[in-house]
Amino acid sequence: MESAADPQDGVTIATLAPRPDHVPADRVIDFNLHQPVPDGKSVHEFWRELIADATHDIMWTPHNGGHWICVDPDLCETVLEDSVRFSSRVVIVPRDPIGETYANFIPLSLDPPVHGPYRKVLNDNLGPKQIARIKDAVRDLTVELIEGFHSAGRCNFVHDFAEQLPVRIFMRLVALPEEDLPKLKYLADQFTRPDGTIEFPEVEANFRNYIGPIIDARRGGSGDDLITRMVSAEVNGQPLSDADAQNLCIQTLVGGLDTVVNLLAFVFSFLAINPDQRRILASDPAKIDEAMNEFLRRFPVVSDSREVRHDLDFGGVTMKHRDMVMASTVPIAMSEKSNVDALDFQIDRKARRHSIFGRGAHTCPGAHLGRLELKAVLSEWLARIPDFRLPEGESLTYTSGIVATVDPFNLEWDV
Ligand code: HEM
């Protein structure tokens, strides 16, 4: 058994599981999603190595409780879409303790048909029409943030910008005070990139203690914020129960606080070290829409799993009831089977295959908001700061996890 405190393990929750009898020895691979990404490699290169090292379309790793990993894009998409064979009751590895704690939140932990009516609450409130209403607010905050550091000629992109814009917009959507942001972001990050500083029941308790009184105060109220609208909604003709209201709000908070931030960090770190691509976009903003499609393909960040519902044969192996199967969005886009020269960023790529927002019933309801923010940021930033770079001697490092990210980095430009 591997030492729980081994620094190579990233977080202390990772221990090596023994290979179960139904896992063939030639399917075992050494892959730890929560491991620090080796220096000099990006998260996506790290996954490409896994794809290259895999001898089969589905492998099994002893890390994080022991789980299958789909390496082939078709199998990843099938697992995400097929809720009859693969349940989303638990989507996070390791199952214990993170996955089971996160399983308390909805709608991700619900399978169809139970999932549908809860999901409708999100669709009704995060659809294109509702999100279009905040377009000006997104642009205004983007400009305000950029203007705040423009004349300094430098910023920490993650802290000063990427962690500000989407989470502040989200805090406005849910009408929560900005001073609560650090606490909520810290809690949300524990599910996606746990740092070992807090136990998971405590994370859950903190979320519930925070959101419970807010829900009580807003239920039946006339406010136009997302929480009031969600907790005042009916599901199957009944008002949402207190427990369901909390579980829905907590999952929406986690989804809203830790995804767009990371996508922005990937996009802007890429532009900082690829001046040719940056100049194309800065000199011809009409190309931004097409570039966005390529950014969404090139930088998938979410690696969720599913729980096997009953013993079955899949991808040439026998899986047992309750086995965990990782169906990450990363190999879907990073496999050569999906995209030729998948690591290359090509604005004019003829065809693209990716599932950055997932597949099937749980496809991200926040996608409209994510796209709106990415578009505003690319347009407003490149119009004001067309040329920027990493400071001399600074290099990029990455953190893998359920939602991968670029570690905080600085940008500088001439003023
Ligand atoms: C670039 C930004 C984003 C990316 C890449 C992303 C990615 C994803 C993915 C891959 C899933 C499916 C997970 C699965 O099937 O296991 C998902 C679901 C979800 N996302 Fe997002 N997301 C983003 C932004 C957001 C935002 C801004 C919100 C909140 C406003 C949000 C809220 C959710 C929720 C609540 C679910 C669960 C949906 C369900 O179970 O039906 N996401 N997201």
Among 358, 411, 354, which Cα is nearest to 381's? 411
pLDDT at site 132 = 93
263 lines ligand 1 (CB under 6 A): yes
**Is residue 2 assigned to a domain?**
no
**Is residue 156 assigned to a domain?**
yes
Q: How far is the CA of 192 from the centre of ligand 1 (A)?
A: 12
Which of 250, 253, 364 to probe ligand 1 with, by most ligand atoms within 8 A of CB? 364
Beta carbons within 8 Å of 111's beta carbon, 6+ residues apart = 83, 87, 88, 89, 361
pLDDT at site 254 = 87
331 lines ligand 1 (CB under 6 A): no
What number does the ligand 1 atom closest to the CA of 126 have?
30
pLDDT at site 220 = 85
Q: Return per-residue pLDDT of the chain as tens, 415 residues.
A: 233 333 334 444 446 999 999 999 999 999 999 988 988 899 999 999 999 999 999 999 999 999 999 999 999 999 999 999 999 999 999 999 889 999 999 999 999 999 999 999 999 999 999 999 999 999 999 999 999 999 999 999 999 999 999 889 988 989 999 899 889 989 988 888 888 899 988 999 999 999 999 999 999 899 989 999 988 899 999 999 989 999 999 999 888 888 999 999 999 999 999 999 999 999 999 999 999 999 999 999 999 999 999 999 999 999 999 999 999 999 999 999 999 999 999 999 999 999 999 999 999 999 999 999 999 999 999 999 999 999 999 999 999 999 999 999 999 999 9
254 lines ligand 1 (CB under 6 A): no
**Is residue 135 assigned to a domain?**
yes
Q: How far is the CA of 362 from the centre of ligand 1 (A)?
A: 8
pLDDT at site 5 = 34
The pTM for the full model equals 0.94
pLDDT at site 3 = 32
What number does the ligand 1 atom closest to the CA of 302 have?
10
**Is residue 102 assigned to a domain?**
yes
pLDDT at site 1 = 28
Sequence-ordered alpha helix ranges (H) in 179-320:
181-192, 200-218, 226-231, 242-257, 260-273, 275-283, 288-298
**Is residue 1 assigned to a domain?**
no
Return the DSSP state at 57. S
pLDDT at site 257 = 84
- Alpha-carbon span 262 to 356, nearest angstrom: 12
Range of the domain at 183: 7-412
What number does the ligand 1 atom closest to the CA of 109 have?
40
- Alpha-carbon span 77 to 89, nearest angstrom: 17
Q: How far is the CA of 128 from the centre of ligand 1 (A)?
A: 15
- Alpha-carbon span 149 to 163, nearest angstrom: 15
Write out the H or E segment, with its range, that includes residue 103: none
Q: Torsions phi, psi of 322, nearest 5?
A: 80, 0
**Is residue 56 assigned to a domain?**
yes
Q: How far is the CA of 357 from the centre of ligand 1 (A)?
A: 6
Q: Structural domain tally of the chain?
A: 1
pLDDT at site 200 = 87
pLDDT at site 8 = 39
3-state secondary structure of 32: coil
What residue's CA is closest to ligand 1, atom 39? 362
CATH number at residue 89: 1.10.630.10
What residue's CA is closest to ligand 1, atom 3? 259
**Is residue 141 assigned to a domain?**
yes
